[in-house]
Structure 1
Amino acid sequence: MFRNLIPLLADRYHVVAPDYPGYGQSATPDRSTYAYTFAATVDIVDKLMVRLEAKSYAMYVMDYGAPVGYRLALKHPERVSGLIIQNGNAYDEGLKEFWDPIKTYWSDGSAKSREALSGLLTLETTKFQYTDGMEDVSRISPDNWVHDQALLDRPGNKDIQLDMLYDYRTNVPLYPDFQRFFRERKPPTLIVWGKNDFIFPEAGAHPYLKDLPDAEIHILNSGHFLLEEKLDVAAPLINDFLDRNVAKK
C-alpha cells in the first residue's frame, strides 16, 4: 500500500519501510526457531532503527503497524517526532464485529477456534480487504490481492498469520500504556482514516482525540487500504503535516 506514497515523501524525507519477518520480502524463519509475536517484531524493528542510527523519527502506523509502532514508542518515547495514524487501533472502541471470532480464539486458544479463522487467509477475504467500503472500486488494482495472496499462500505462511492473530491479544492490555504515551508525550499527530473499514472501523479513530486533543483528523470515504483509492487526497495531507511538524525539528 505504501509503494505509491513513498516516492511522494522521499524527495524530502528518509523513508524506512521494512517488511516484518514472514511478510513481503523479509526472511521467513521456521516457527520452531522464531516466535511470530508482536514483541519479537518490535525487537526486530528496534534493532533495524539502531542499525540505521535513526535517533528521531515520525511513525506511520496502520493495522498491525499500530501496536508495533506504539510498543516501539514505549521503549523509546523520546525518539518519536510525530505520528501518522491510518486505521490503526489503540482503543477498545475499535475492536468490533470483525474481531468477535478472533476474540473467541484468544479466549480458548483451541485448534477449532484457530481453524475457524482460516477463511481470513483466502483470496476472497484478501480481495474484500482491498475493495470493501471503497468509494470507487475501479481505482483499486487487482494486482493488490493477487500479489498478497501469492505471499499468503507460501508454505507455512498460514500458521504464521494465525500465530500473529492469536498474539494480537497481547496488544489489548497495553492500550492504557499507549494512551498514556499519547497524553504524556503529545507527539504531533495526523489521523487519516477510511470510515468504511470493517476491520478497524471509524469508531476506533475518534477516541484518540481524548488523549491527543490537538491531533488533526480526516475521515475519508474509503476502506481499509485507503491509500489505494485516496492517495491524491491523503498524500498532500501527509506532506503538509510533516512539513509543518517534523521537517523543522
Structure 2
Amino acid sequence: MVVVHHRTVAVDGWEVFYREAGPKDGPVMLLLHGYPTSSHMFRHLIPALADRYRVIAPDHIGFGRSSAPSVDEFEYTFDALARVTRGFLEAVGVEKYTVYTQDYGAPIAWRLALGTPDAVEGVISQNGNAYEEGFVPEFWEPIWAYGENNSPENEAALRPALEREAVQWQYLHGVPEPSRVDPDAWEHDLALLARPGNDRVQLALFADYRTNRELYPQVHEWLRSSQVPVLAIWGRNDEIFGPAGAEAFRRDSPDARIELIDGGHFLLESNLDDVVSAIRDWRASF
C-alpha cells in the first residue's frame, strides 16, 4: 500500500496542512484544490500517482486543515493565496513541478507560473479555467455583480452558494450515475464552511474572483511563449466551467491534449480511473 503522509508547515506565520506521498526524488505533482473543498478532494488521486511521482496537495489558507484566520487577520485574495503557496513550495523544497489545477486552484497556479514560469513543467487543468469561454454565464452573474458592488442585496444573492443544496449540487450536477459520488465529500466541505467567520472568508474570495479574469491575457502569453505541455481533462457536463474552456487551451497551446469526460465539476469523485489513466499517459510523453 502507498503511504500518504499528513503534515503541516509554517508559512508567513500560518500553518499550511498538506498531504504527500511518493518518492522524494520523483517528479513533483502539485495538486491545487478548488472551492469549497480542500486536499481532501485528492484523497484517492494521491495514492494512484504516488508510485512514480512525488505528489503534494496543500490546503489553501481558510480551507481544510490549514490555518483559517478571520478576514480581519488575513487579506483573502487570490494574490495572497498564491503568495502563501509560493512560500509553501519553498518550505517543502520544490523548485519544479507539474501542476494539477481545479476551480480555485487554477488562478493560484496561474499566479505561480507568471511569477516563476520556468518552475512549471506541465499543466493539468481539471475544470480549471483560463478563458472567458469557460464561464457559464448563469452561474457567474451573481459573482460578477458582487465583485462590482458588495451591497447587501448582492451578498444575499450569493449566500445560498455556502449552503447545503448548492454544495451538494457542485458534486452531483452533470454526473450520469450520482450514486458513484461519496456523500462524505460534501459533508466534509459543509462542516468546514460552517466554522465561525468562514462565510466572510468565502465572500471575500467571491468578490476577488474578478481579478483572475484580468490575468488571463498574461496567462495566454505565458502558454504561447513557454509551450508548456497542457492536459485539459474536464467533466464536459460542468455547469460552472463549461467544456469550451477546455477547448480554448488549443488557441495558445496547439499541442494541448483535451479530454472531455462524461462527468461534472468534481470529476475525481466519479471518474478517477479515467483521470489517472490520462495523466499517466500524458505525463509519460515528456
Correspondent of 2:228 among 187, 193, 199: 187
Correspondent of 2:77 among 13, 22, 37: 37
Instruction: Measure, in 1, the Cα distance between the counterparts of 2:277 and 2:46.
Output: 12
Specify the code of the residue in structure 2 equivalent to 1:108.
N
Indicate the structure with greater helix content.
Answer: 1
Aligned residues: 245
Correspondent of 1:138 among 151, 156, 179: 179
Deviation at 1:115, TM superposition (A): 2.4
Structure 1 residue 110 and structure 2 residue 151: aligned?
yes
- Name whichever of 47-56 and 169-178 sits farther off: 47-56
Specify the code of the residue in structure 2 equivalent to 1:29.
P
Indicate the structure with greater strand content.
Answer: 2
Matched with 1:13 is 53
Deviation at 1:239, TM superposition (A): 1.5
Matched with 1:127 is 168
1:156-212 CA-partner distances (Å, limit 9, x unpaired): 111101111111111111100011110000111111000110111112111110001
Consecutive unaligned residues of structure 1, counting only runs of 5 or more, are none
Instruction: Measure, in 2, the Cα distance between the counterparts of 1:82 and 1:107.
Output: 34
Matched with 1:100 is 141
Corresponding residue SS for 2:160: helix
Instruction: Measure, in 2, the Cα distance between the counterparts of 1:144 and 1:88.
Output: 19
Q: How large is the Cα RMSD of the aligned pairs?
A: 0.9
1:34-76 CA-partner distances (Å, limit 9, x unpaired): 1011000000000011112211100001100001001100000
Instruction: Measure, in 2, the Cα distance between the counterparts of 1:9 and 1:100.
Output: 37
Corresponding residue SS for 2:98: strand
Corresponding residue SS for 1:117: helix
1 or 2 for the larger relative contact order (CA 8 Å, sep ≥6)? 1
Corresponding residue SS for 2:124: strand
User: Identity of paired residues, percent?
Assistant: 45
Structure 1 residue 175 and structure 2 residue 201: aligned?
no
TM-score, normalisation: structure 2: 0.84
Instruction: Measure, in 2, the Cα distance between the counterparts of 1:79 and 1:198.
Output: 32
Consecutive unaligned residues of structure 2, counting only runs of 5 or more, are 1-40
Instruction: Measure, in 2, the Cα distance between the counterparts of 1:232 and 1:92.
Output: 29
